[in-house]
Chain A
Amino acid sequence: MINIFEVLETNEMIQKENLDVRTITLGISLLDCIDSDLNSLNQKIYDKITTLAENLVSVGAKIEKEYGIPVVNKRISVTPIALVGGAACKTPEDFVTVAETLDRAAKRVGVNFIGGYSALVSKGMTKADRMLIESVPQALSKTDVVCSSVNVGSTKTGINMDAVKLIGEKILETAELTKDMDSIGCAKFVVFCNAPDDNPFMAGAFHGVTEADAVINVGVSGPGVVLRAIETAKGRDFEFLCETIKKTAFKITRVGQLVAKTASEMLGIPFGIVDLSLAPTPAIGDSVADILKSMGLEYPGAPGTTAALAMLNDQVKKGGVMASSSVGGLSGAFIPVSEDQGMIDAVLAGSLTIEKLEAMTCVCSVGLDMIAIPGDTRASSISGIIADEMAIGMINQKTTAVRLIPVIGKGVGDTAEFGGLLGYAPIMSVNSFACDDFVNRTGRIPAPVHSFKN
């Protein structure tokens, strides 16, 4: 039988170390909503989402009460809209009406984000894909809770550089259209290489075409719990440190599995995966950067950071995999800058640069995340950064992503304020040398050879 110390340990994790279920994400296929008439497409999408997700928020609240653990976000992901809207949308403006429908439906059921205003263009762009990407600035500035993503590359197909170039321009346009709020539109847009079909985390969540009609995916989180556990391993060797992380990850993930199963039963929708990511928040102590510090680094960015992160990420997976019947999504340590107070401190202390962050993304999910850069950064430079990050994903057979926010009217030394879970971010300096002639070449970078690994 459970004893009092085990009960107290669990409740301590929840109350003092910010253990929570970060998100229950309901994936919904919209393939059966496809229609050549724009109005009926929008109506079908609205009806399907509001019917299937009607009880999502109340089920989340019920689980919260029964288990006494916060379920922070309830979210929805849908089939990439470029596929769903292709038959009906003849202009980028038509696609914007679909974004507005998603926004209305999400607000109606009370979720805080809906993802899937997306296109999958790793090898080439259809007319619809291109129109959707062109519509992103308008869509993100006219809606509040819609998140958008584009998959521009994969290990199997290479990198679509035409899309990378176009996206660099669209990120700047999005920044310009939302400049009154420190270009927050860009915080809702991610570019991926090897995007997973079942990611529950925003802004990159979409419901892949290989998925069932509806599915429940859960993202757990607990940087604070891992931090506290590592603090007990101060001065011990790596073997002990790894064991500590694995045991903690196991406990955290078991809770995620329980919540996912319960939500699935209550909603009558199949369980998909548990995402094992360590997702920080701006709350003090809920930080991946603090974990790196407690391992023995003065600041993230110091020599040894990449090794520490690689180890952390691997132990979290090793502990978590056994705790869940099905693991998926991104499953790694997130290293966003604005959402992690420790990362912000490291940038302000001069320890962390975009280049070092890029190196860190080689060993962990997910990529250059929530990084504010000067508003006068050239579109080609943004495309160059994206291409670099996509290349890391393509060669290393892992998911990588870029979520950059060029903050219009601000430069290095200023701070961008996003509010809430998105936090605030010091503007980071971008290498100012040009890459226009590289980015402006058309076509794609071919898929890499899968042998001769060096």
Chain B
Amino acid sequence: MKKAIITVVGKDCVGIIAKVCTYLAEHRINILDISQTIVQGYFNMMMITDIAGADCDFITIQSSLDVIGNEIGCIIRIQDEAIFDVMHRI
């Protein structure tokens, strides 16, 4: 398993989760957990995903998500889980 955290930040609108999930399903990226919250009027979503079985590499996923983010007016990031793990877990 190789965990990656995807965050989506932007104005809430119809179909944000659907668009991102469709892309992930097409590229065999498994979603382990989804949570969302509204901070200062902005929609924040976080997905914990497993990219071990993905049919493309990390950089490709990153640039594709970037394109989707531009289409729906959100900032989508994908980061290796390790950076959050080291910072928040002893």
Question: Does B70 sit at the interface, judged by CB under 8 A?
Answer: no
Bound complex: CA of A257 vs CA of B82, how far in Å?
11
A7-B86 contact, Cβ under 8 Å, with A2-B81, A66-B79: no
A7-B39 contact, Cβ under 8 Å, with A2-B81, A66-B58, A69-B83: no
Question: Does B80 sit at the interface, judged by CB under 8 A?
Answer: yes
A2-B86 contact, Cβ under 8 Å, with A8-B44, A67-B79: no
Pairs A–B under 8 Å by Cβ, sample size 18 = A4-B35, A7-B46, A8-B7, A8-B39, A10-B84, A10-B87, A11-B7, A11-B77, A65-B59, A68-B77, A68-B78, A68-B79, A68-B83, A254-B87, A255-B87, A258-B82, A258-B86, A262-B82
- Per-residue CB contact flags for chain B residues 24-41 toward chain A (1 = under 8 Å, else 0) read 000000001101110100
A65 touches B35 (CB 8 A): no
Bound complex: CA of A8 vs CA of B84, how far in Å?
10
Contacts of A7 in B (CB 8 A): 5, 7, 46, 84
Bound complex: CA of A251 vs CA of B86, how far in Å?
8
Contacts of B87 in A (CB 8 A): 6, 10, 251, 254-255
Bound complex: CA of A69 vs CA of B82, how far in Å?
12
Q: How large is the interface on A (under 10, 10 to 19, 20 to 34, 35 or more residues)?
A: 20 to 34
Taking a contact as CB atoms closer than 8 A, the residue among A1, A67, A251 that contacts B82 in the complex is A67
Chain B residues touching A, majority SS = strand
Taking a contact as CB atoms closer than 8 A, the residue among B32, B37, B78, B86 that contacts A4 in the complex is B37
Bound complex: CA of A2 vs CA of B6, how far in Å?
12
Interface residues of A in 1-49 (CB under 8 A from B): 1-11
Bound complex: CA of A67 vs CA of B39, how far in Å?
23
Question: Does B48 sit at the interface, judged by CB under 8 A?
Answer: yes
Question: Does B64 sit at the interface, judged by CB under 8 A?
Answer: no
Bound complex: CA of A11 vs CA of B77, how far in Å?
10
B86 touches A255 (CB 8 A): yes
Q: How many residues of B contact A (CB 8 A)?
A: 27
Residues of B at the A interface (CB closer than 8 Å) are 5, 7, 32-33, 35-37, 39, 44, 46, 48, 58-59, 62, 77-89
Bound complex: CA of A9 vs CA of B58, how far in Å?
23
Bound complex: CA of A281 vs CA of B82, how far in Å?
27
Interface residues of A in 321-354 (CB under 8 A from B): none
Taking a contact as CB atoms closer than 8 A, the residue among B36, B39, B44, B88 that contacts A6 in the complex is B88
Closest to A259 in B: B83
B58 touches A65 (CB 8 A): yes
B86 touches A254 (CB 8 A): yes
Output the least CB separation between B48 and chain A (Å). 6
Interface centre among A5, A9, A11 (most CB of B within 10 A): A11
Contacts of B39 in A (CB 8 A): 8
A1 touches B84 (CB 8 A): no
Contacts of B82 in A (CB 8 A): 67, 258, 262
Taking a contact as CB atoms closer than 8 A, the residue among A10, A67, A69 that contacts B88 in the complex is A10
Identify 12 new A-B residue pairs, CB closer than 8 A, beyond the known A4-B35, A11-B77: A1-B33, A1-B48, A2-B85, A4-B44, A8-B7, A8-B44, A8-B46, A10-B84, A65-B62, A68-B79, A69-B83, A255-B86
Contacts of A10 in B (CB 8 A): 83-84, 87-88
Taking a contact as CB atoms closer than 8 A, the residue among A1, A3, A258 that contacts B83 in the complex is A258
Bound complex: CA of A65 vs CA of B46, how far in Å?
18
Contacts of A3 in B (CB 8 A): 35
Output the least CB separation between B23 and chain A (Å). 18
A6 touches B37 (CB 8 A): no
Taking a contact as CB atoms closer than 8 A, the residue among A8, A65, A66, A257 that contacts B86 in the complex is A257
Output the least CB separation between A388 and chain B (Å). 40
Closest to A19 in B: B87
Contacts of A1 in B (CB 8 A): 32-33, 48
- Per-residue CB contact flags for chain A residues 243-257 toward chain B (1 = under 8 Å, else 0) read 000000001001101
